[in-house]
Amino acid sequence: MNKAELIEELASKTGTSKSAAGDALEAFIDIVHRSLAKGDPVVITGFGKFEARARAARTARNPQTGAIVQVKKTTVPVFKAGADFKKIV
């Protein structure tokens, strides 16, 4: 399912217009982005948890050249599915 299909499904389930459903989805995405940027997790009980995790700096190897490179410390978004979500899937 892509974003357009999700918006259609949201509009159908909630009885709202596609425009309103699209706005709601965009608002949700924006809230998740802002929360993770601040370092705050977003937890939806039964569905899952969105969080930002730090990855340590490390040494890696370029597979094409074999050269050793240093990879900087970075923060990545992570989603962990909740128990109810895992049962359904």
- Give the model confidence (pLDDT) of 36-78 as tens digits: 999 999 999 999 999 999 999 999 999 999 999 999 999 999 9
- What is the rounded average pLDDT of the residues 22-26? 97
Q: Which domain holds residue 67?
A: 3-88
Given this model, what pLDDT does residue 3 score?
97
Contacts of 82 (CB under 8 A, 6+ apart): 44, 45, 46, 47, 48, 49
Q: What is the CATH number of the domain that holds 73?
A: 4.10.520.10
Looking at the structure of the chain, the number of domains it has is 1
Token pair, residue 35, equals 């929360």
Instruction: Quote the mean pLDDT of the chain.
Output: 96
